[in-house]
Structure 1
Amino acid sequence: MKSLGKRMKTNYSAIPFKSSSIELQNKPSNEPKQFYVEEYTDEFDEIDDFPLIPEGGGAAAGPEAADAGVPGAVFNLATSIIGAGIMALPAAMKVLGLALGFVSIVVMGVLSEISIELLVRYSVLSKAASYGEVVEAALGRAMRVVSEVCIVVNNAGVLVVYLIIIGDVMSGSSDHVGVFDQLFDHGVWDHRKMVILVVLIVFLAPLCALEKIDSLSLTSAASVALAVVFVVISCAVAFIKLVDGTIQKPRMGPDFSTKASILDLLVVIPIMTNAYVCHFNVQPIYNELEGRSPQKMNRVGRISTVMCVVVYAATAVSGYLLFGDETESDVLTNFDKNLGAHFSMVLNYIVRIGYVLHLVLVFPVIHFSLRQTVDALVFTNSVLDSRKKSLALTAVLLGVIYVGSTMIPNIWVAFKFTGATTGLSLGFIFPALITLRLDKHDKSLTNGEKAVSWLMLVLAVVVSVVGVAGNIYSIQNQS
């Protein structure tokens, strides 16, 4: 197979399979391209060492870049998913109620995983090395620009939210006491903007300067572990209080009693969908996957999604049970008071500091795709090939993100708009459009996959329109 691989290095075509597989076929250069459909068997795993994306197809597209194992890819993808969105889920659960909230988390997770697998299939079919390239292959250059603008807005917004949370937790806010105040009393650390700037320069900038996303696999694993620590502690405390009978009876469904609760209901589903958006990192992670194949990447997606659904459901349920109707848009700020359990303050410190460290480790993974997309969108010739220009672009992006973190009031405002616009577009609308458009040439979709694609597209458009309208109406009422 190795000698065959050498002969195939520059001449091969992607062949779609009904089982969502892609195989390579050696072809003379003067033959027209053809597509064949046949059954996939495990014996073809032997050719996994050969790239499905040709050299020159984008950053890290060559075979020498494919050096990340499945565990590293799982951690990087899970880290792309589990970020600040997890902190808004208990507040979303407060709006939807326990039963509907839990069902929504599971359904959104399943739909997100389906969209990832469809995206992988058609990225390989079109030999795309980035999200923008597969959009261009299916929908044209203009829609690629739109998709890349969505990635920039979405990722920049998410990173701004990370800095807001770090500032609120460590320095406090008008309604909550910060970790530094509780540990050291009042001091220079009360200046929230300065604390964020120090964290940005000392901790985030060095990680964001790394050139390959696989370099972040260890930090991604650590970030997932810290998220699990947060979930375990919040679930344990919620269970203890539930047994003691000190938890208020939760609502099982939405509250329709006030206009404010109805408005929140209109915008909360986009917040849920935004929590699963990781599609912009699928291609970079796939490009660096050792022995890459659609089957291996689908395995990565499924493991990551199951992990995230469990973490999200546990966080949303335990957070809502712990704080009830007092649950904040950023539930992390609720952990500044006695939880009604043994060693309450110690647990508070562990939860808050641990999750701040989690965000610090997640930040560079999201920044990686932001920098890559800005480079493709703004520059004709990539600046990422030059170390100095790459560092300059990183510095500019971090500066813009810092300024944004000083202007946006809270994470609920940020998630309401990005969830209803860029989040739904990247996670559901574009993948569905890509699938339906490229299937006209490929004809590999089953009737069930086609129906799911249409369902995702229609639901995403409806939720987006309703969410944006609800946000605008909410702002008008407040003003």
Structure 2
Amino acid sequence: METWILVTKRSARLGVNLHFPPNLGVGGRKDFFAAAFQSVDPPRAGAPATMVNSNYSALPLTSTAIELQSAQPPPPPKSGASAKLTKQDSFLGEVEDDDAATPGEHDELPLIGDDGPAGPPEGSGVSGAVFNLATSIIGAGIMALPATMKVLGVAVGLVSILVMGVLSEVTIELLVRFAVRCRALSYGELVHRALGRPASVVAQLCIVVNNAGILVVYLIIIGDVMSGSLKHMGVMDQLVGHGEWDNRRLLILFVLVVFLAPLCALEKIDSLSLSSAASVGLAVVFVAVSCMIAAGEGKLAAPRMGPDFSSKAAILDLLVVIPIMTNAYICHFNVQPIYNELKEKTPQNMYNISRISTVLCVVVYALTAISGYLLFGDDTESDVLTNFDKDLGIKFSTVLNYIVRIGYIVHLVLVFPVVHFSLRQTVDSLVFGELAPHSRKRMLSLTVVLLALIYLGSTMIPNIWMAFKFTGATTGLALGFMFPALVALRLDKEGECLGRGERLPSGGMLGGGWPSSSASSGLSETCTA
């Protein structure tokens, strides 16, 4: 047996030693370390390394972040040879000048850490990850919640918001747990490991359809609020009057090029932490203003506590609520990117992040739904923003209307790049493969193409609610509940035991998902006809 050492910024300081047969080639050694780095904890002083659970994340097999270095002291250098040291310590010893020319030598693999002294670990902290995940959850669907409260009633509506939040939290934790177990770096890769390549392609296509549809909806709402529609006046029309400046397509294009494109060009999702925090803050502002208006108006009618079964249309509306509620908590495609960029990559850390995010979103959703419904009652529109273009009958009504609508537009602008990030990552994986080397040029080209297609879709699709019903009843339900349940149940058969509190919800989500999807999709087609 021969001793080789994994050399990275972290392991150079820890001195992690691993043993494997000497006949394993350089390529095999690299693959071995890429897998072992996930499962090797730093040993105690004087103790050998052992294969146990680890806080480290897997490195892609294409990564150049690994050098294999023999632990046996090398012979003295020849005359004229120079000594090369890492900046952490003299881990490499002396290396001959012509060493790199020898085929198969370890110096073919570059060393991380020779670019400066080791600093604090890069990545996102807990607060940044919470804001990114909460921003992935709180999107355009928040404006449909007052209408769902009108259909379900206050009591049933609140219970539904809570139950959907709990189910979403369970599925997020299942995804994190099995992604770490399988060393999967993305949603599609996790499905691939558990269910095979065909299922992975289906899951990735669902992400593309879901995220592209959501982004199209965002642009449509931005255009409607700024330029107006047949049902309400736009902000620009109210502020400066009618003219070329309130042309819907031009306004959307302006927002896309000036505000959205620079944010979407960022390479890492943790770079969006500040904008995500601002986005969540604006959602809280909307809730606060709505509650203040509802409390100050003084004309609140007694709300219904349960669903209305008085007509066939009211009963059918209950099925429309399913895809809207399903869409409300879909963030699962961003869980792995957020986890991958954490400073401290541990499952428990990610569990805490998802729990904090879920509680935050449940509170925001509940207050938004109640305040909107109490404020407008049975006149609550499907998009509650349309109710804010008229006089509310209170002081500073016009100012509050502007705050709500403009604040929400800014919120969507800040949410947009977070959803776009996973869309671009998934398209890149589908088209170029998961092992394709990183390319800034390819990433920027994909960003331009995707934004152009999304803009084109926003100019051709006039109705956001058909998009919500379709994505919620199909891709949203699949991504948020069906695939996580399938992954959990499949891996449970392979020896990863689930608790009763995990197995029952997984089976229930899988068993109830298909009927709900079929019923909601059929209702959407009926309404369209």
Task: Provide the C-alpha distance between the structure 2 equivalents of 1:321 and 1:393, rounded to a whole number of angstroms.
Answer: 44
Task: Provide the C-alpha distance between the structure 2 equivalents of 1:304 and 1:69, rounded to a whole number of angstroms.
Answer: 14
Specify whether residues 5 and 291 from structure 1 end up closer, same or farther in structure 2 by C-alpha distance, changes over 3 A only: farther
Q: Is the Cα–Cα contact under 8 Å of residues 62 and 437 in structure 2 kept in the other structure? A: no
Which residue of 1 is the match for residue 185 of structure 2? 129
Q: Deviations over 1:320-367 (max 9, x none)?
A: 111122212211121111122221111111111111001001100000
Aligned: 1:286 with 2:370: no
Counterpart residue identity of residue 114, structure 1: V
Aligned: 1:351 with 2:425: no
CA drift of 1:259 comes to 2.9
Task: Provide the C-alpha distance between the structure 2 equivalents of 1:258 and 1:99, rounded to a whole number of angstroms.
Answer: 20
Which residue of 1 is the match for residue 139 of structure 2? 83
Aligned: 1:423 with 2:457: no
Aligned: 1:223 with 2:279: yes
CA drift of 1:24 comes to 4.3
Task: Provide the C-alpha distance between the structure 2 equivalents of 1:346 and 1:319, rounded to a whole number of angstroms.
Answer: 17
Aligned: 1:307 with 2:317: no
Task: Provide the C-alpha distance between the structure 2 equivalents of 1:206 and 1:60, rounded to a whole number of angstroms.
Answer: 29
Q: 2:418 aligns with which of 340, 345, 365?
A: 365
Specify whether residues 115 and 65 from structure 1 end up closer, same or farther in structure 2 by C-alpha distance, changes over 3 A only: farther
Q: Is the Cα–Cα contact under 8 Å of residues 88 and 331 in structure 1 kept in the other structure? A: yes
CA drift of 1:11 comes to 4.2
Which residue of 2 is the match for residue 31 of structure 1? none
Specify whether residues 384 and 306 from structure 1 end up closer, same or farther in structure 2 by C-alpha distance, changes over 3 A only: farther
**Unpaired stretches in structure 1, ≥5 consecutive residues:** 16-21, 28-33, 37-43
SS of the counterpart of 1:339? coil
Q: Deviations over 1:60-84 (max 9, x none)?
A: 9999985111101001000000011
Q: Which has the larger radius of gyration?
A: 2
Q: Is the Cα–Cα contact under 8 Å of residues 65 and 288 in structure 1 kept in the other structure? A: no
Specify whether residues 224 and 58 from structure 1 end up closer, same or farther in structure 2 by C-alpha distance, changes over 3 A only: farther
The alignment-based identity, stated in percent, is 64
**Unpaired stretches in structure 2, ≥5 consecutive residues:** 1-9, 19-29, 44-49, 67-111, 114-119
SS of the counterpart of 2:494? helix
More deviation in 129-138 or 264-273? 264-273
Aligned: 1:7 with 2:17: yes
Show the 5 A alignment for 1:113-128. Answer: 113-128=169-184
Which residue of 2 is the match for residue 297 of structure 1? 350
Q: 1:200 aligns with which of 256, 277, 280?
A: 256
Q: Is the Cα–Cα contact under 8 Å of residues 60 and 288 in structure 1 kept in the other structure? A: no
Q: Is the Cα–Cα contact under 8 Å of residues 77 and 285 in structure 1 kept in the other structure? A: yes
Aligned: 1:109 with 2:119: no
Task: Provide the C-alpha distance between the structure 1 equivalents of 2:385 and 2:323, rounded to a whole number of angstroms.
Answer: 20
For these two proteins, the number of residue pairs brought into alignment is 450
Q: Compare relative contact order (CA 8 Å, sep 6+) and give the higher one, 1 or 2.
A: 1
Q: Is the Cα–Cα contact under 8 Å of residues 39 and 51 in structure 2 kept in the other structure? A: no
Q: Is the Cα–Cα contact under 8 Å of residues 384 and 390 in structure 1 kept in the other structure? A: no
Q: Is the Cα–Cα contact under 8 Å of residues 60 and 287 in structure 1 kept in the other structure? A: no
Which residue of 2 is the match for residue 187 of structure 1? 243
Q: Is the Cα–Cα contact under 8 Å of residues 169 and 352 in structure 1 kept in the other structure? A: yes
What is the TM-score of this pair, normalised by structure 1? 0.88
Task: Provide the C-alpha distance between the structure 1 equivalents of 2:328 and 2:274, rounded to a whole number of angstroms.
Answer: 22
Runs ≥4 residues deviating over 4 A: 1-5, 8-15, 22-27, 57-66, 381-384
Specify whether residues 377 and 58 from structure 1 end up closer, same or farther in structure 2 by C-alpha distance, changes over 3 A only: farther
Let me know the Cα RMSD of the aligned residues: 2.7
CA drift of 1:469 comes to 1.6
Aligned: 1:169 with 2:228: no
What is the TM-score of this pair, normalised by structure 2? 0.80
CA drift of 1:182 comes to 1.1
Q: Deviations over 1:404-430 (max 9, x none)?
A: 112222322111110000001000000
